[in-house]
Structure 1
Amino acid sequence: MPRYALKIEYDGTPFSGWQRQADQPSVQGAVERALSRLESDVPSIAAAGRTDAGVHALGQVAHCDLRKDWDPFRLAQALNYHLKPDPVSVVACARVGQDFHARFSAHERRYLFRLVSRRAPVTHDRGLVWQVGHPLALAPMQAAARYLLGRHDFTTFRASLCQAASPVKTLDALEISEHPYPGGAEFRFHVRARSFLHNQVRSFVGTLERVGAGAWAPEDVKTALEARNRAACGPVCPPQGLYLAGVGYDPDPFGDG
C-alpha cells in the first residue's frame, strides 16, 4: 500500500485534541473521516505528536497508507474538500517510503506559543493567544529561559499524568521575542527539542510569564528546575496560545529543508 505524509494545520478550538475519541470531536477523527470518503477501510493514521484540547497546529505531520496510487497534490485537494467545514487543512502531501513514520522518524519538534499583554480583550485573536492584562519584561524572561536549555531532569515541568518513560529531555532552543500588538505587546516563545513531556511547553511559558511580570526572579527558574518537584513549577498556562509549529525529518518529505 502506498504511504503518504500529510502536513496539517488546524485550529484546535473545537476539538478535544488530536487523538481520536469515541464521544468527542478530534482532529484525527476529522482527517480519518475525510480519508474514508476517498477509500473505505483506511487504516488508522499516525501523527508526530498528540496535541491537547485547544492546542493548534501550523505543521502537524501524519502518515497514512492507501490502496490507490494517488497524485499527492490531488490527494491533498480531495482531503481538503472533505474536511470542510472543520478548521483543518492539508497544506502539503508527499509520497514516502514504508520506512517513514510520522512519529518515530521525527528528529525534532518545534512549538510556538503566543502570549499577548494588553488590558483590552483581544478580538481577532480570541482563542488563538493567551492574554494577560499586565505588562511583561522581555529581558528577564530571556535570562530565565537560558537555565532551561540543555539536558535536564524536567520533573518540575512535567504533568503528573505524563506517560513518558523518563523526565530527562534535551531542550535545544527556547527563544522569546517581543512584537508590536495594538494596545499592547505580543511575546512569542519558539521552543525546539526532539521530544517533549506532557504540558512541558505550557509549564515553561506559565513559569516564564511570572518572571516577566516581576513575581519571580530569573534565578528562581533555575531553583525550580533543580527541585525536580512539580510543586515548584509556576502556573501552567492555558492551551489557546500553543501551536505545533513544525516537525523535522531527514530527509524532509515535503522538501522544506
Structure 2
Amino acid sequence: MRAFRVAYDGRPFHGFQRQPDVPTVESALFDALRKLDVLDHEADKPAGYAAAGRTDAGVSAVAQTVAFDCPGWLSPRAFSSQLPADVRVWASADVPCQFHATYDCESRAYEYHLYAPGADLERARAAIAALQGTHDFANLTAASFDDTVRTLETANVEQDDAFLVFSLRANGFLWELVRRIGSLVRAVATGAAPPEKVSRVLEPEPLPGHEGVPPAPPEGLVLVDAAYPGVEFVPDERAVETVREVFGEKETTATTAARAARSVGERVR
C-alpha cells in the first residue's frame, strides 16, 4: 500500500469528497487512476482507499493524504500526469497493508488567511489563547455531533498587513470549526465583539441565533498537515517543482485580477 500527499486549489471544486454531477478533488483523483489503468473502470474506488479527511468547497490543501493499494510504478509524477493543474501529487510513502489514512492520522493542521483590516493583534492573540486546549466547541459548528469536545493542541495568530493568519492543530476538527474560530477572533480583534464573547461561546448552553458565530469564507483556509507517526513521505523533486510552477502562476493571475478590480473600483465615480 502507498500513501500520497496531495496539494490542490480548492476554488474550482465542490469540496474534496466525491459527489454526483459536480467536480470534486476526489473525483479528479479517481479519474486520473482510471486513465492510468490503476483503477478498473467498473470499480467504485481503489482497494484499501481512505483519505485524511474532507475539505469543503473552496478550501485548499498542501498535505491532503490518500492511501490505497497500487502498483509500484505509480509515483507522484505519474499520478499528477493525468490530473488537472489544480491538483498535484507531490510526495509518497510506502505504508503497511493495514494503514488507514483517516483513522491513523494523529492530528491535522490548518492555516487560515482572514481579511481583517483594523484588527488588534494583541486582542486576537488573547482570544485565540483562550480557545487553545480541550473544550466543547458545540457553539462553533453547524453540524450535529454526539461528541463536540476537541483538543486544540496549537492555536496561534499573526498579522500580515490587513490579514490575520491563523495556525491551528488538533486531534480532530468539527465541521466549519476553523472558519468559525476565525470569525470569532476577528470580531474580538476588531472590537465588533467583547473579549468575553469567547468564554460565552465555550459554555455548554447553545447560543441564541442572534449571538451565533457564522463561518468566515472558505477560500482562505488551507489544510497544511496530516500527521502520521513513523511514516516518512519522500518528495518527488520534479513534482514539487511543478507544484511551485502551477501555484506561482495562480498567484500571479490572482494578483493581476486584484489590481484590475481595484482599478475599476477606484475609477468609478
TM-score of the alignment, normalized to the shorter chain, above 0.5:
yes
Tell me which protein shows more strand as a share of its residues. 1
- In structure 2, relative to structure 1, the CA distance for the partners of 1:36 and 1:62 (3 Å cut) is same
Q: Is the 8 A contact 2:76 2:90 kept in 1?
A: yes
Cα distance, 1:191–1:233 mapped onto 2, change above 3 Å = farther
What is the alpha-carbon root mean square deviation over aligned residues? Answer: 1.7
Match of 2:257 in 1: none
Asked whether the equivalents of residues 154 and 228 of structure 1 are also in contact (C-alpha less than 8 Å), the reply is: no
Partner of 1:169: 150
Aligned ranges for residues 11-22 of structure 1 at < 5 Å? 11-22=9-20
Q: For this pair of structures, how many residues does the alignment match? A: 227
Shift of 1:137: 0.9
For 1:1-257, what aligned pairs fall within 5 Å after superposition? Answer: 3-38=1-36, 39-41=38-40, 43-44=45-46, 45-66=49-70, 68-70=71-73, 75-85=75-85, 87-117=86-116, 134-159=117-142, 161-162=143-144, 164-179=145-160, 181=161, 185-231=162-208, 232-254=211-233
Unpaired segments ≥5 residues, structure 2: 236-269
Q: Does structure 2 retain, via aligned residues, the 8 Å contact 1:210–1:234?
A: no
Partner SS, residue 203 of structure 2: helix
Cα contact 2:133–2:151 (8 A) shared by 1: yes
CA distance in 1, matches of 2:170, 2:207: 21
Runs of 4 or more off by more than 6 Å in structure 1?
none
Q: Displacement, 1:35?
A: 1.1
Q: Which runs of 5+ in 1 are unaligned?
A: 118-133
2:67 partner letter: H
Pick the structure with more helix per residue: 2
Aligned residue identity for 2:176: N
Partner of 1:128: none
Secondary structure at the aligned position of 1:29 is classed as: helix
Q: How big is the shift at 1:116? A: 2.8
Q: CA deviation at 1:234?
A: 2.3
| Counterpart amino acid of residue 9 in structure 1 | A
Of all paired residues, the percent bearing the same amino acid is: 36
Deviation at 1:83, TM superposition (A): 0.3
Letter in 1 for 2:115: V
Structure 2 contact 7–63 (Cα < 8 Å) conserved: yes
